[in-house]
Amino acid sequence: MTVARDVYVNFELGLPGPNCGVEMSKRDPHFQFWDSVGGWHLISNDQYRLPPASMATPFALSLFLRPPFESPLSYEMSFGCAGSPVARTSANVAPHVLGRAYDHYVNSNREKQAGLVLAKSFFDLDSTPEHVRDIEEL
pLDDT tens by residue, 36-89: 987 999 999 999 999 988 889 999 999 999 999 999 999 999 999 999 999 998
Q: What is the pLDDT of residue 126?
A: 67
Of 122 and 13, the structure prediction assigns the larger pLDDT to 13
pTM attached to this predicted model = 0.82
- Higher local confidence (pLDDT), 21 or 128: 21
* Mean pLDDT computed over 106-120: 86
With 0-12 / 13-18 / 19 or more C-beta atoms within 10 angstroms meaning exposed / middle / buried, residue 32 is: middle
Instruction: Inform me whether the pLDDT recorded for 94 exceeds 50.
Output: yes
How would you label 49-73 residue by residue, b for 16+ Cβ within 10 Å and e otherwise? ebeeeeebebbeeeeebebebeebb
| CA separation for the pair 136, 96 (Å, rounded) | 32
Indicate the Cα dihedral angle 10, 76, 62, 27, nearest 10°.
Answer: -10
